Each structure stands twice: as C-alpha cells, then as structure tokens.
Amino acid sequence: MAEVVEYSTALMTEPDLRAIATEMGEPASQVAAPPGRAPLAAEDARMKMGEAIYLDRCMACHTRSGEGVPNMFPRLAGSQVVQQEGSETVLRVVLQGVRAAYTPHAPTSPAMPAFGWRLNDDQAAAVTTYIRNAWGNAAPAVASADAARMRGLLRDRP
C-alpha cells in the first residue's frame, strides 16, 4: 500500500484529486457509533483489562482520550476503521503494526509498531475490544479466538 501512495496517488494533480473526491463523496473518517449499537460497559472485565493495556502500550501515541495527534497519530475515537463490524483490520494493525506512506506533503511517515510479540491473544483481544468501545465508540467485542486466527493468518502470509 505504501508504494501505491508514494509512486502514484501522492503524485496526482489537484484536478485528479478533486475528481476522485467528487466520485467518492464526502470522506467519513470520523463517525459516531453506528445506530443501534451500544458500547460495552466500562466495568466489563474485558474493557478493564483492555484499558490497562491501552494506558500502558498505546496512550503515548494515540493519547488518553483517543484523539491522537493531527498528522502524526490517528484518532481512534470516532474512527470508522476501529468501529467496523468485523475486527480483522484492527487486529491486523495491532498484531502486525503499520507504516504510513511517505509523501512530499507528509514526509515524516509515522509508523505503528507491531504488538504481536508483546501481547498474547487474550491481551490483543482485550485492547482491541477496548478501543472499539471507549470514547463513544461502539462495536462488537473481540474474542481471543479472533486474535489467534489473525495471528495464524499473518504467520502463513506475513
């Protein structure tokens, strides 16, 4: 993906970008919790465990309130990616890490470290469950088995 950005989309002209934006409609990177969903209670054991891990491992970049740092660390509160029905993308980011693409406008290219080797399946599931249900977010809880399955996929196809 980084290559697509570095060698292609970052080089698009203003008219190209406008045409794509018109085609795609308004970006909805920040959304309220999907209607009909309620967040897990903060007292839920998975939320408590997830919060402890978040404060220890994630807060330094994504901040206590999940707001992140503009142009550096993405906002998790209100993130559509984080609140997707399926947890695959978020689990992959947490276990494998991710690097933003380099562009002339954003040359810093911040990266997210992999946590797969530092968190076991229970811990990865708990922290993922937490970010999906904190700060007004709401999305289905993530089970340890989901984390184990994603770990297996990444091992087979890194």
Residues that bind ligand HEC (CB under 6 A): 57-58, 60-62, 73-74, 76, 79, 81-82, 90, 93-94, 98-100, 110-113, 115, 127, 131
Rounded-to-integer distance, Cα 88 and Cα 53, Å: 19
Q: In the complex with ligand HEC, which residue's Cβ is closer, 10 or 93?
A: 93
Q: In the complex with ligand HEC, which residue's Cβ is closer, 27 or 36?
A: 27
Min. distance of Cβ 15 from ligand HEC in angstroms?
A: 26
∠ Cα 96 76 121 (to 5°): 40
Min. distance of Cβ 90 from ligand HEC in angstroms?
A: 5
Rounded-to-integer distance, Cα 46 and Cα 138, Å: 14
Min. distance of Cβ 127 from ligand HEC in angstroms?
A: 5
- Where residue 69 falls (left for φ over 0; alpha for ψ -120 to 50; beta otherwise) is beta
Q: In the complex with ligand HEC, which residue's Cβ is closer, 73 or 102?
A: 73
Min. distance of Cβ 35 from ligand HEC in angstroms?
A: 20
Q: In the complex with ligand HEC, which residue's Cβ is closer, 79 or 133?
A: 79
Burial profile 15-43: b = 16 or more Cβ within 10 angstroms, e = fewer: eeeeeeeeeeeeeeeeeebeeeeebbeee
